[in-house]
Amino acid sequence: MEPVFAAMFGFLVVGEMLSAQGYAGAALVLTGVLVSEYGARWLQALRRRSRPQAQPQPGPGMLP
């Protein structure tokens, strides 16, 4: 996150502009942070959605 904040403060303090490579690098850094923080939760949610839902089996006293 340090490069992203450095670029932000550079823009705010001295009006420094990023090149296309700078914006791409900032996007990669932010994406990496998001994946490292939330990646496991996203994978678990995707796995839960892809599993077929178990159908309840009729038991004694239940109509089929």
Contact call for residues 11 and 17 (beta carbons, < 8 A) = yes
Res. 59 pLDDT band, cuts 50 70 90: low
Q: Is residue 64 part of a domain?
A: no
Residue 12: give the domain boundaries: 2-48
Q: Is residue 21 part of a domain?
A: yes
Distance CA 10, CA 45 (A): 38
Q: Is residue 42 part of a domain?
A: yes
Contact call for residues 36 and 43 (beta carbons, < 8 A) = no
Q: Is residue 61 part of a domain?
A: no
Distance CA 61, CA 46 (A): 36
Looking at the 3D structure of the chain, how many domains does it have?
1
Distance CA 35, CA 12 (A): 28
Q: Where are the beta strands (DSSP E) in the chain?
A: none
Q: Is residue 59 part of a domain?
A: no
- Predicted TM-score (pTM) above 0.85: no
Q: What is the pLDDT of residues 6-53, one digit of tens each?
A: 888 898 999 888 899 988 988 999 999 989 988 888 888 878 887 766
